[in-house]
């Protein structure tokens, strides 16, 4: 079965957590909006036609299923592709961690859009500066310390069990995104999170992930995605 991934074709965004899982497991998939000329139109038509429409991209077509919400897609893919435990306790724990990552991603997004997604960044700049100050001083330490302790408790170098999971791929992505968005802040603080940094580096070196990152399928970070580099915010 070939999966169909529906997501915006020009950003990593929330779709990237799904792309990483598909790529790391060498799953057969097509990134619809990137692969076809009328990609976004096809994506929107599918939302309009579905009897169970997703609220927003990303969503994944898997046979008869149409699955929305990135964490939900990952909990579907995980056990099928060796990226999550098969037993219920492990699946719930992996998903719990992924939902906490999703919360962090929402907060990272709101650093540059604290007032409204419908406004441009420059229309909410003073608020963005103020929100980002708190994000860098309070929220990054709170979340990264938490995930550092998860790695420490587990002890294998991965977040769950003894092998790579979709949670590890997502942790790679948030560390990569934070380095892109806030290089000064991360340069100063990364020694506080040695296990997370080591995990990031280990994930990046895996054969399938390294091949993906070196390919044109990996869209570069840019200022339309979740993690944006605005030097004035990286105080």
| Residues making contact with a copy of itself (CB under 8 A) | 51-55, 64-65, 67-69, 71-72, 76, 89, 92-93, 95-96, 99-100, 103, 106, 110, 114-116, 118-119, 127, 130-131, 134, 138, 143, 146, 149-150, 153
Complex with a copy of itself: residue 130 or 217, whichever CB lies closer: 130
Quickly list DSSP for 51-97: SS--SSS-EEEETTEEEESHHHHHHHHHHHTTSS-SSHHHHHHHHHH
CB of 100 to a copy of itself, least distance (A): 5
Nearest residue (CB) to a copy of itself, 100 versus 189: 100
Least distance (Å) between residue 156 CB and a copy of itself: 13
Nearer to a copy of itself, 76 or 212 (CB): 76
Residue nearer to a copy of itself on the CB measure, 134 or 188: 134
Q: Which is nearer to a copy of itself, 45 or 217 (CB)?
A: 45
Residue 115 vs 198, nearer CB to a copy of itself: 115
Please state the closest distance from residue 195 (CB atom) to a copy of itself, in A: 15
Q: Shortest gap between Cβ of 205 and a copy of itself (angstroms)? A: 27
Smallest distance, a copy of itself to C-beta of residue 37, A:
28
Long-range contacts of range 26-32, CB-CB < 8 Å, 24 or more positions apart? 26/208, 27/3, 27/77, 27/81, 28/1, 28/2, 28/3, 29/2, 29/3, 29/4, 29/5, 30/2, 30/3, 30/4, 30/5, 31/5, 31/7, 31/217, 32/4, 32/5, 32/6
End-to-end Cα distance, the chain: 47
In a 3-state reduction of DSSP, which class is residue 29?
strand
Cis peptide before 18 (omega within 30 of 0): no
Minimum gap (Å) between residue 178 Cβ and a copy of itself? 17
């Amino acid at each position: 079965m070939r999966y169909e991934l529906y997501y915006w074709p020009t950003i990593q965004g929330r779709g990237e957590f799904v792309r990483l899982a598909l790529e790391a497991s060498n799953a057969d998939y097509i990134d619809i909006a990137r692969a076809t000329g009328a990609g976004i139109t096809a994506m929107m038509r599918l939302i309009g036609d579905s009897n169970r429409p997703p609220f927003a991209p990303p969503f994944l077509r898997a046979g008869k299923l149409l699955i929305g919400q990135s964490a939900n897609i990952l909990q579907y893919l995980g056990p099928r592709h060796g990226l999550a435990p098969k037993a219920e306790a492990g699946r719930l724990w992996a998903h719990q961690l992924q939902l906490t990552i999703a919360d962090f991603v929402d907060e990272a997004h709101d650093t540059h859009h604290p007032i409204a997604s419908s406004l441009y960044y420059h229309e909410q700049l003073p608020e963005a500066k103020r929100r980002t100050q708190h994000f860098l001083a309070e929220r990054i330490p709170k979340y990264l310390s938490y995930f550092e302790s998860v790695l420490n408790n587990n002890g294998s170098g991965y977040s769950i069990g003894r092998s790579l999971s979709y949670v590890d791929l997502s942790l790679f992505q948030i560390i990569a995104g934070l380095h892109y968005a806030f290089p000064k802040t991360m340069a100063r603080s990364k020694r506080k999170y040695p296990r997370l940094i080591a995990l990031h580096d280990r994930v990046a070196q895996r054969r399938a992930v390294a091949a993906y990152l070196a390919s044109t399928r990996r869209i570069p970070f840019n200022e339309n995605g979740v993690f944006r580099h605005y030097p004035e915010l990286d105080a």
